Structure 1
Amino acid sequence: MTEENNKAEKFIVNCIPVNDKDQQRFIEAAGDVRIEFCGDPKNYGDMSVKAQIPKKLRSRATAVLGNFDPAIAHEFTNLEWLQTWSAGVDAYIKPGVLPEGVTVTSATGAYGQSVSEHMIAMMWALMKNLPLYVRDQTAHRWQDEGTVLTPEGATVLVIGTGDIGSHFARLAKGTGMRTVGVRRSADKPADGIDQMHGFDELDTLLPQADVVALSLPKAADTHHLIDAHRLAFLKKDAILVNGGRGDAVDDDALAEALSNNAIRGAGLDVFETEPLPPTHPLWNEPSCLITPHAAGGSHLASNDAHIVDIAVANVRRYANDEPLQDNAHR
């Protein structure tokens, strides 16, 4: 069978809820490869929507753009490539979910601005005691909540220096902070990072940090990276912010540290168990700022445009038999 015939067999099912203009971009990128659209334009900007793929298309699709229910993954018997609109692909790369050999790419790179800005806002709010003042306002209580901190001259330990971490570091430097990065390859630089270190130096770096900012992807070796042992290394005035994967922090150990005033505060957009159980002690900690995994998604309008840009570029590569970008290796 010729290469041209192989190319003609490709069939892309696009479930990203795009408008007419973006549909045309996908069609042009696909070239001779057939592409069918299943996304409802009314859902544009709603990252919570699961792709509704007609059953008759599932076994025919060689590529899918969008997030479908992993429970139906076994029906995509000819699937070669899945492009998610999320940065996380955990649900799809678990063994046995997708057929063997499927390439999974994500929307990593679409959320750096929105998540990093959210993390910076949390950090600054905790430095200025704003969560305490919100509680006072709710209680109609006029009360001075004491001294505050400044980012000027402070050291932030950025654990995970990819798209989000690098964005965060650049914003932090703009407020006068010194940025220290932690990543697996300490010899690989990242924008916004003054000094780069490896994970093997983490215990030495934690006591120096005024702020610890996590933006890690999910991995077996980062589960509970910040646990009771490592929380004990932090300064009493340290602030921890997590905008990456929730299981990088031991939520129970963090709640205990906050309860004992072992650190100043924590800003959390992600948790090991989501939704965070209503009985979890973190809810009751006045120095813990909680948001419901809302830093990314479609909360910032430009995120959707970035998702489309990433997907269009990969469709063009797929149609031309070129390596796909941002492969989440299985």
Structure 2
Amino acid sequence: MMKRILVTLPITEYHKKRLERNVTNCSFQYVPLSEVTIDMVQNSEIIVGNVPVSYISASNNLELLQLNSAGADAYILPGVLSSGTILTNATGAYGKTVAEHMFGIMMCLQKKLHLYRDDRVTGEWNDYGTVTSISNAIVTVIGLGDIGLYFAGMAKALGAYVIGIKRRKSDCPKQVDELHLMEDFYEIIPKADIIVSFLPNTPSTYHLYNAEFFSKMKNTGIFLNGGRGSAVDQDALLAAVQNQDISAAGLDVTDPEPLPSEHPLWKEKNIMITPHVSGSYHLPETLDKIVEIAAANIENHLAGTPLKNLIDFETGYCK
């Protein structure tokens, strides 16, 4: 029986050729996500792309759902996928783009460039005083997946001492000087000049960064979040910055998204916000990497061989 493959990515002819190169007895349907219908989803055996959760409805036809995102939280909820559906994500595609984006925000905050950029609007000529350097800074990276390791590698290359925190015990990667587990979380926080999080949205990460967390940071510290907005208690973060319990914060993710225009986070001068744009396809090679992951997983699924980036439905992380 010919399998139907629905692809919702904004791909080129080159990408189509890559997806179809080693695949036989399959029909490909390329449809922009905005034009996808529930019938298309329900009639597909393989889907590449983050189709609306409500369209899946535990489809018995769906064998493989290959996400174009690293986060899989919406798809692991009970009743979304049938027990026979394999779920894979795009871990490995976003390391460079997200890490570089968050690194840029960090450098802006360290050098107070956000304040000088704001002065352009009013034409003021101010001197905001002392700045900090990444060289010899203690940088703590929470979440050492593809993105976290890329960020850690850049920080270490510029002379930072990098502390990594992850869920499971492993050998210390070369990008990290010191490795700890989440159980050491509160012991590590006071040491850091910069703390950056790349954690997904799971029950265990919800409001992990709360008033207690910010109270343990250095008052000169910078907090960055490039993972999911739900990990941060935003009221606690705002209070920490306003009370100068920490120096500044940089967010590419918020809760909710979009962040309402009247939200007080927008008004705080020492909180830099970008609207969840670090990933997506803003760096063109990211899409190339997603297509490569998807092509390999389609081929492996059809051949009955192991797939990359299998999602553990209990944790929301790759197995």
TM-score normalised per structure 1? 0.90
State the shift of 1:80 in Å. 1.2
Equivalent of 1:24 in 17, 27, 41: 17
Matches within 5 A, 1:150-161: 150-161=133-144
* Matched residue type, 1:14: V
Rounded Cα–Cα distance in structure 1 between residues aligned with 2:104 and 2:238: 21
Rounded Cα–Cα distance in structure 2 between residues aligned with 1:63 and 1:83: 8
Equivalent of 1:163 in 137, 146, 149: 146
Contact 1:162–1:190 (CA under 8 A) maintained in structure 2:
no
Equivalent of 2:207 in 203, 224, 229: 224
SS at match of 2:10: coil
Matches within 5 A, 1:99-248: 99-248=82-231
Stretches of structure 2 lacking an aligned partner (at least 5 in a row) = 314-319
State the shift of 1:23 in Å. 1.4
Q: Superposition RMSD on alpha carbons, in Å?
A: 1.6
**Aligned residue in 1 for 2:26:** 34
Stretches of structure 1 lacking an aligned partner (at least 5 in a row) = 1-7, 41-48
TM-score normalised per structure 2? 0.93
* Matched residue type, 2:7: N
Equivalent of 1:52 in 33, 36, 45: 36
Equivalent of 1:321 in 304, 307, 314: 304
Q: 1:200 to 1:69 in 2, by over 3 A?
A: same
**Aligned residue in 2 for 1:92:** 75
Moved more, 9-18 or 172-181: 9-18
Rounded Cα–Cα distance in structure 1 between residues aligned with 2:237 and 2:87: 33
State the shift of 1:322 in Å. 1.0
Rounded Cα–Cα distance in structure 1 between residues aligned with 2:273 and 2:47: 34
**Number of equivalent positions:** 313
Rounded Cα–Cα distance in structure 1 between residues aligned with 2:241 and 2:20: 52
State the shift of 1:280 in Å. 2.1
SS at match of 1:221: coil
SS at match of 1:116: helix
State the shift of 1:29 in Å. 2.6
SS at match of 1:277: coil
SS at match of 1:222: coil
* Matched residue type, 1:98: L
**Aligned residue in 2 for 1:4:** none
Contact 1:161–1:190 (CA under 8 A) maintained in structure 2:
no
State the shift of 1:21 in Å. 2.4
State the shift of 1:101 in Å. 2.7
* Matched residue type, 2:15: D
Rounded Cα–Cα distance in structure 2 between residues aligned with 1:233 and 1:59: 49
Encode CA deviations 1:49-104: one digit per residue, 9 max, x unaligned: 4461572x444321111121111112733111100112222222211122233111
State the shift of 1:189 in Å. 3.1
Rounded Cα–Cα distance in structure 2 between residues aligned with 1:96 and 1:154: 46
Rounded Cα–Cα distance in structure 2 between residues aligned with 1:134 and 1:196: 36
Rounded Cα–Cα distance in structure 2 between residues aligned with 1:216 and 1:188: 20
State the shift of 1:191 in Å. 4.1
* Matched residue type, 1:27: E
Q: 1:53 to 1:129 in 2, by over 3 A?
A: same
Encode CA deviations 1:222-246: one digit per residue, 9 max, x unaligned: 1111110010001111000110111
SS at match of 2:125: coil
State the shift of 1:9 in Å. 5.1
Rounded Cα–Cα distance in structure 1 between residues aligned with 2:284 and 2:2: 35
* Matched residue type, 1:15: T
**Aligned residue in 1 for 2:6:** 13
Moved more, 244-253 or 182-191: 182-191
Rounded Cα–Cα distance in structure 1 between residues aligned with 2:177 and 2:26: 47
Moved more, 207-216 or 86-95: 86-95
Rounded Cα–Cα distance in structure 1 between residues aligned with 2:267 and 2:211: 19
State the shift of 1:39 in Å. 2.9
Q: 1:135 to 1:35 in 2, by over 3 A?
A: same
Percent sequence identity is 38
Equivalent of 1:66 in 43, 46, 49: 49
**Aligned residue in 2 for 1:289:** 272
* Matched residue type, 1:52: V
* Matched residue type, 1:100: S
